[in-house]
Amino acid sequence: MKRLLWLAFVGFVAAVPVWAQGPRMPDPRSSHTEDITCVAFSPNGKVLASGSEDKTIKLWNVATGENTATLKGYPDKVLCLAFSPDGKTLASGSEGQVVELWNVATGKTRATLMGHTGGVLSVAFSPDGKTLASAGDHTILLWDVASGRNTAIYHAPLVDSVAFSPDGKTLASGQGGNKIRLWDIGTGKSTTLLDENSEYATPQVAFSPDGKTLASGGRCIFTIKLWNVATGKNTGTLEDDRFDVASMAFTFTPDGKALAIAYTDGKVKRWDTTGSKRATTVKKGDNEGFNACAFSPDGKVLAAVVYDKTLNRWTLNLCGM
């Protein structure tokens, strides 16, 4: 069954959430023809990009659900996506070892970056947009976005996720075996935060807005952990039930006081990361479940790939966050 996109508009509220299906349904002819593998929001939250095994990337208007562009000519299955901070460039990584930079306005390729020896599983822009990190196989590569030149290479096995700190000085990586490292961009030296040797665990990573805390979790990992970036110490753990966290499906709220988490069973939680560290379920799990997910920059919108044959929009009454 083909996986298509479900846009779930999620608000974190004190009252019981009320869900309602949006009135607009995109033309099925605009949908992907194969499984969707990744989704990413533009910095302003108005555009959603989706990558697929059909070797295309589609851009969607979040407000209307309309497909506004289809980026074609990709050599292989698209595995990861990331917008530049100004929203003008979209980076994508493929199963075919290639990183592409796209001009969002024109839908044309700006540059093709080659250097990986395996599939590219994660891409991330530095906060100033001048550097791109790409991860896969056994390496993390840094690229100068303007010239397309490879500027650094970090050796780390089975990297599945990378994220820049807000000041751009540190890169966090999640690796196979449930390992997390922090890389000093200036020196290239790394510090290990977590090394649990869990065979199938591949952690995702996300920095808090102030850069002082790192969150980690992911598939085959049934906890979310918080880390003090300066000391490397674990400062909080959210133990959960049998459901693991959907890929790249957690983010800090803009004030940094909470973490929004999406699970593979379709459940969404809000975890207070300060003080009480209590978790509140804001969306109950369902039979559909989530695969690839992304939260909007303001944390109020969730785009999630589910097993469904239509592209639906779901809204929640928002009472602030």
Distance (Å) of CA 204 to CA 30, 157, 267 = 30, 15, 18
How far apart CA 99 and CA 85 sit, in angstroms, is 18
Cα 162 from Cα 24, distance rounded (Å):
35
pLDDT digits (tens, 9 = 90+) for 207-247: 999 999 999 987 778 788 999 999 999 998 888 766 777 66
Q: How far apart are CA 79 and CA 106, in angstroms?
A: 22
State the pLDDT confidence band at 307, using cuts at 50, 70 and 90: low
Domain range annotation of the chain: 4-316
DSSP 87: S
- For the segment 101-129, the average pLDDT, to the nearest whole number, is 94
pLDDT grade, residue 97 (50/70/90)? confident
Burial class (CB in 10 A: 0-12, 13-18, 19+), 97: middle
What HEC string does 215-248 produce?
Answer: EEEEECCCEEEEEECCCCCEEEEEECCCCCEEEE
pTM: 0.86
The pLDDT value recorded for residue 306 is 67
- 136, 141, 142, 143 alpha-carbon torsion, rounded to 10°: -90
Q: How far apart are CA 107 and CA 72, in angstroms?
A: 8
The count of other CB atoms within 10 Å of the CB of residue 252 is 21
Question: Among 136, 228, 247, 140, which Cα is nearest to 183's?
Answer: 140
Considering the domain delimited by 4-316, tell me its CATH architecture.
7 Propeller (2.130)
Query: 10 Å Cβ neighbour count for 17?
Result: 17
**Are 152 and 162 spatial neighbours (Cβ–Cβ below 8 Å)?**
no
**Per-residue tokens: 104:** 């969002």
* pLDDT, tens only, 147-173: 999 999 999 888 889 999 999 999 999
Is the per-residue pLDDT at 91 higher than 80? yes
